[in-house]
């Protein structure tokens, strides 16, 4: 084979070479096209994997506030008791350890989160801080429902000259792709539900830790808990 090749003129060799690099590029373009087609197909059917229902969660957040208006912990306990009574463990895996909090730095804002549920297409967390924080919402590939439990959240988009203001019982819906500056004024805690492509949101969730805080203990705990919850859900077929 190699002797046959070496007998060819340098010109023929160059021709073979450019033909094979042309077919390599054709293969690459086809692969990229197939991946794009698969992604857009998956995007049209992602709804079939959703378990949580936004109106139900909004009712649940308001019921939790009504049940223990002066206790954030009481609200969280109410939410977990309701979710575990509503959804069988064969349908969705929930993290019921309400002590499992980690710091979360993203978009310049800082708070703590407790991850109730994480899978490829949904997550439900409690996020907040008793101190207040503000930052960039991130550009997300999921719809985000931010249910205020305690305190106030303010937000605005370029062009708005007045702030949007969300108080306990309100839900602040950020549809996929919408970007805002937000502020959790003084202390604020919220139940945040996102539905869409969750893994694509994770780089935003980790960027501040990797480029600024360098809090690798938090990073390791977050990866461990998020990964564990995604796998627990995959094991029961919850995508």
Decide if residue 86 touches ligand NAG (CB under 6 A): yes
DSSP 171-225: EEEE-TT---EEEEEEEEEEEEEEEE-SGGGHHHHHHHIIIII--HHHHHHHHHH
Mark the segment that binds ligand NAG (CB under 6 A) among 8-16, 38-46, 80-88, 195-203. 80-88
Decide if residue 69 touches ligand NAG (CB under 6 A): yes
DSSP 8-class letter at 87: S
Decide if residue 85 touches ligand NAG (CB under 6 A): yes
Compare residues 74 and 132 and give the one whose CB is closer to ligand NAG.
74
Decide if residue 97 touches ligand NAG (CB under 6 A): yes
Decide if residue 2 touches ligand NAG (CB under 6 A): no
Decide if residue 100 touches ligand NAG (CB under 6 A): yes
Q: How far is the CB of 57 from ligand NAG (least distance, A)?
A: 8
Nearest to residue 175, comparing CAs of 198, 219, 142, 129?
142
Are residues 225 and 100 in contact, defined by beta-carbon separation less than 8 angstroms?
Answer: yes
Decide if residue 82 touches ligand NAG (CB under 6 A): yes
Are residues 182 and 132 in contact, defined by beta-carbon separation less than 8 angstroms?
Answer: no
Are residues 140 and 201 in contact, defined by beta-carbon separation less than 8 angstroms?
Answer: yes
Write out the residues near ligand NAG by the rule CB under 6 A: 59-60, 63, 69-70, 82, 85-86, 97, 99-100
């Amino acid at each position: 084979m190699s002797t046959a090749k070496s007998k060819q003129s340098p010109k023929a060799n160059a021709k073979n070479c450019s033909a094979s690099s042309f077919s390599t590029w054709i293969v690459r373009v086809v692969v990229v096209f197939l991946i794009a087609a698969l992604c857009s197909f998956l995007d049209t059917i992602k709804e079939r994997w959703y378990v949580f229902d936004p109106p139900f969660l909004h009712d649940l957040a308001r019921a939790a506030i009504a049940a223990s208006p002066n206790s954030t912990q009481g609200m969280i306990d109410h939410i977990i008791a309701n979710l575990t009574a509503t959804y069988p463990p064969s349908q969705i895996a929930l993290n019921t350890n309400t002590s499992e909090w980690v710091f979360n730095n993203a978009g310049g804002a800082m708070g703590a989160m407790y991850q109730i549920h994480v899978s490829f297409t949904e997550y439900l967390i409690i996020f907040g801080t008793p101190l207040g924080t503000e930052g960039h919402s991130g550009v997300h590939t999921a719809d985000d429902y931010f249910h205020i439990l305690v305190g106030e959240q303010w937000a605005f988009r370029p062009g708005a000259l007045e702030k949007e203001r969300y108080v306990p019982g309100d839900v602040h819906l950020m549809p996929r792709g919408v970007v805002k500056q937000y502020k959790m004024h003084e202390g604020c805690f919220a139940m945040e539900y996102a539905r869409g492509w969750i893994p694509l949101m994770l780089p935003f969730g980790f960027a501040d830790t990797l480029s600024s805080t360098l809090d690798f203990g938090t990073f390791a705990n977050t990866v461990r808990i998020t990964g564990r919850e995604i796998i627990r859900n995959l094991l029961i077929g919850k995508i």
